[in-house]
């Protein structure tokens, strides 16, 4: 409705603007005809004066014609000037020479307002940049430094003063930063850590494309030294706690087993069983904490080897048979790979990822339902999928199920530590891949693990475990 109204109003105002502004083909033709008629009249009068002599009537007609043409020309020239003056005077069109000073004053005020606005705009960006705690660096299309704020100078270090025109290598001399900035020039944003002046900086490289095409790179620098220190302290605490608790948990288990063997009464037997179940849950939690701490601290290293895909999948399915039988759930397997397919992976860690996903799928499946394990090997990489027919995961929970200790509403009634999917996520990243989930409530869930492509056959022969 608004668009239609605006189009109609423009169509209505257009003829009026042509009449007042003196533009358009009809107006031009009208003026040309008027001038032609005036010239013919003057020529005819001049010819008659040569033959019959000058008369008072001819002189009067000549003066009237000249006055008419001058008035028309004046109106045609003043019209385009009067319209802007009318806007400056707030809709009052100047009618006489006395109105021009007022129009000139309005023009000066408008000019002053524009200059003040330009000064405010020029001062606004530097003021904002000076108050931002993040360091900001803008490199132009030629690779030179065009803008930076005081926080960037503090983060980079006062011993290396910044100046406009400096190259990326002069500001960030490490090779990782130079490569990340080049990727940003190609349109790919990056994020990495950088040590500078006894501090840890988180650097983001963002393609700068105000007009659509990438014309520069915007770098932001965050000082994350305190966050890194807190994260290191947390990891050490979790590692120490999980390690120190293993000894008393083992002692409790031994005592409960001895009590179960020696206690003749049923209440004592039931108490010993309850203690053992609690010990098992605690041992599982400590094991997951220890594993997650090793992954996050970088202490866990992969040992990739060349694996036969069929044999690996068969062993994985065999290990799940007791759990499948206990839950009355069937497992379907689909393999899409070249004949004699091979893959290079750490068998222990890949099995850990898939077993975790399969155990969750079986745990949340109803008796009589089916779980599907699918694998596809291609030039793009390895794709593993685990699908179930369980209650599904709501959209708001899908973004949090890979967090530590987070358990969805459906999982709260099931045994578990809340660390399994967090371990899966970190192991997938360690292997250079990622894990995603697709689900709708009531329609089950599909977890998809994407891993890098398997090396070529000539490279697989030399694949072996690296040194730890």
User: Quick check: helix, strand or coil at residue 208?
Assistant: strand
Beta-bridged to residue 210, according to DSSP, are none
Beta-bridged to residue 438, according to DSSP, are 446
Q: What is the mean pLDDT of residues 274-287?
A: 79
Give me the count of residues in the chain: 468
Q: What is the mean pLDDT of residues 273-281?
A: 81
Which CATH code is given to the segment(s) 132-223?
3.30.450.20
Tally helices (H) and strands (E) across the chain: 14, 12
Local confidence band at 372 (pLDDT 50, 70, 90 cut-offs): very high
Distances (CA, A) of 244 to 79, 255, 263, 285, 316: 93, 18, 30, 13, 32
Q: How do residues 76-128 score in pLDDT, each as one tens digit? A: 655 555 556 555 555 565 555 556 666 667 778 888 888 888 888 777 777 77
pLDDT top residue among 401 and 21: 401
Three state DSSP letters for 194-247: EEECCEEEEEEEEEECCCCCCCEEEEEEEECHHHHHHHHHHHHHHHHHHHHHHH
Model's pTM, two decimal places?
0.50
Q: How far is CA 103 from the centre of its chain?
A: 51
330 neighbors 388 (Cβ within 8 angstroms): no
Q: How far is CA 180 from the centre of its chain?
A: 16
Output the average pLDDT for the chain.
77
Instruction: Choose among 420, 307, 295: nearest CA to 357.
Output: 420
pLDDT top residue among 259 and 409: 259
Q: Determine the Cα–Cα distance for residues 362 and 367; give it in Å rounded to an integer.
A: 9
Q: Percent of the chain beyond pLDDT 90?
A: 13
Q: Considering the domain 228-297, what is its CATH architecture? A: Orthogonal Bundle (1.10)
Local confidence band at 457 (pLDDT 50, 70, 90 cut-offs): very low
Q: How far is CA 286 from the centre of its chain?
A: 36
Lowest mean pLDDT among 256-270, 330-344, 402-416: 402-416
pLDDT at 442: 84
Q: Considering the domain 305-460, what is its CATH architecture? A: 2-Layer Sandwich (3.30)
Local confidence band at 384 (pLDDT 50, 70, 90 cut-offs): very high
Q: Determine the Cα–Cα distance for residues 58 and 65; give it in Å rounded to an integer.
A: 10
Domain borders along the chain are 2-95, 132-223, 228-297, 305-460
pLDDT at 39: 66
Lowest mean pLDDT among 96-110, 165-179, 342-356, 369-383: 96-110
Q: What is the mean pLDDT of residues 275-283?
A: 80
pLDDT at 74: 62
pLDDT at 155: 85
pLDDT at 139: 92
Instruction: Choose among 70, 19, 65: nearest CA to 44.
Output: 65
pLDDT at 313: 92
Q: Determine the Cα–Cα distance for residues 105 and 111; give it in Å rounded to an integer.
A: 10
Beta-bridged to residue 381, according to DSSP, are 378
Question: Would the pLDDT of 315 be above 80?
Answer: yes
pLDDT top residue among 89 and 363: 363
Distances (CA, A) of 73 to 76, 86, 170, 259: 5, 20, 66, 118
pLDDT at 115: 86
Three state DSSP letters for 35-71: HHHHHHHHHHHHHHHHHHCCCHHHHHHHHHHHHHHHH
Please tell me what DSSP assigns to residue 360.
H
Contacts 24+ apart (CB under 8 A), 3-11: none
Q: Determine the Cα–Cα distance for residues 452 and 432; give it in Å rounded to an integer.
A: 6
Top mean-pLDDT range of 32-36, 117-121, 370-374, 452-456 = 370-374
Please tell me what DSSP assigns to residue 365.
S
301 neighbors 468 (Cβ within 8 angstroms): yes
Q: Determine the Cα–Cα distance for residues 395 and 401; give it in Å rounded to an integer.
A: 11
Q: Determine the Cα–Cα distance for residues 291 and 161; give it in Å rounded to an integer.
A: 44
Q: How far is CA 287 from the centre of its chain?
A: 35
Question: Would the pLDDT of 330 be above 80?
Answer: yes
Instruction: Choose among 163, 150, 196: nearest CA to 177.
Output: 196
pLDDT at 17: 43
Three state DSSP letters for 137-198: EEECCCCEEEEECHHHHHHHCCCCCCCCCCEHHHHCCCHHHHHHHHHHHCCCCEEEEEEECC
Contacts 24+ apart (CB under 8 A), 59-65: 65/38, 65/41
Instruction: Determine how many CB atoms are found less than 10 A away from the CB of residue 281.
Output: 13
Beta-sheet strands, E only, within 337-468: 342-345, 370-378, 381-387, 434-439, 445-451
DSSP-assigned letters across all residues of 88-107: HTTS----STTHHHHHHHHH
pLDDT at 357: 92
Lowest mean pLDDT among 61-75, 244-258, 317-331: 61-75
pLDDT at 448: 93
Lowest mean pLDDT among 21-30, 120-129, 144-153, 367-376: 21-30
Local confidence band at 161 (pLDDT 50, 70, 90 cut-offs): confident
pLDDT at 130: 79
Q: What is the mean pLDDT of residues 342-354?
A: 89
User: Quick check: helix, strand or coil at residue 313?
Assistant: helix
Please tell me what DSSP assigns to residue 212.
S
pLDDT at 26: 67
pLDDT at 263: 63
pLDDT at 331: 92
Instruction: Choose among 300, 315, 284: nearest CA to 427.
Output: 300
pLDDT at 191: 87
Indicate the pairing of strand 330-336 with strand 370-378. parallel
């Amino acid at each position: 409705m608004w668009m239609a109204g605006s189009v109609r109003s423009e169509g209505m105002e257009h003829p009026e603007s042509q009449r007042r502004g003196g533009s358009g083909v009809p107006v031009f033709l009208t003026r040309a005809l008027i001038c032609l008629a005036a010239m013919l009249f003057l020529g005819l009068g001049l010819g008659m004066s040569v033959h019959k002599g000058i008369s008072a009537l001819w002189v009067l007609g000549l003066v009237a014609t000249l006055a008419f043409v001058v008035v028309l020309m004046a109106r045609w020239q003043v019209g385009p000037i009067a319209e802007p003056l009318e806007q400056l005077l707030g809709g009052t069109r100047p009618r006489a020479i006395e109105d021009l000073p007022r129009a000139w004053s309005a023009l000066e005020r408008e000019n002053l307002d524009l200059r003040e606005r330009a000064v405010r705009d020029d001062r606004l960006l530097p003021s904002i940049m000076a108050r931002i705690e993040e360091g900001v660096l803008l490199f132009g299309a030629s690779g030179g430094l065009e803008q930076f704020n005081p926080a960037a100078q503090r983060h980079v270090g006062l011993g290396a003063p910044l100046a406009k025109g400096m190259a990326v290598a002069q500001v960030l001399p490490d090779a990782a930063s130079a490569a990340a900035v080049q990727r940003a020039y190609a349109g790919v944003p990056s994020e990495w850590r950088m040590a500078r002046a006894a501090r840890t900086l988180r650097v983001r490289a963002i393609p700068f494309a105000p007009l659509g095409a990438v014309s520069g790179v915007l770098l932001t620098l965050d000082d994350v030294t305190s966050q890194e220190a807190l994260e290191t302290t947390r990891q050490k605490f979790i590692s120490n706690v999980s390690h120190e608790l293993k000894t008393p948990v083992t002692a409790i288990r031994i005592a409960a087993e001895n009590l179960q063997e020696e206690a003749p009464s049923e209440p004592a037997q039931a108490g010993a069983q309850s203690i053992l179940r609690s010990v098992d849950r605690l041992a599982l939690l400590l094991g997951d904490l220890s594993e997650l701490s090793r992954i996050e601290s970088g202490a866990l290293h992969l040992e990739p080897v060349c694996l036969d895909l069929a044999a690996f999948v068969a062993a994985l399915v065999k290990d799940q048979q007791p759990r499948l039988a206990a839950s009355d759930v069937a497992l379907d397997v689909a393999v899409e790979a070249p004949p004699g397919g091979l893959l290079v992976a750490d068998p222990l860690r890949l099995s850990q990822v898939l077993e975790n996903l399969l155990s969750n799928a079986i745990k949340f499946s109803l008796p009589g339902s089916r779980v599907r394990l699918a694998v596809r090997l291609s030039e793009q990489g390895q794709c593993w999928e685990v699908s179930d027919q369980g209650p599904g995961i709501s959209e708001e929970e899908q973004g949090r199920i890979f967090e530590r200790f987070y358990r969805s509403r459906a999982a709260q009634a099931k045994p578990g530590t809340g660390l399994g999917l967090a371990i899966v996520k970190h192991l997938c990243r360690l292997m250079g891949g990622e894990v995603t989930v697709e689900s709708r409530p009531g329609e089950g869930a599909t977890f998809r693990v994407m891993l890098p492509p398997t090396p070529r056959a000539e490279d697989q022969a030399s694949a072996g475990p690296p040194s730890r």
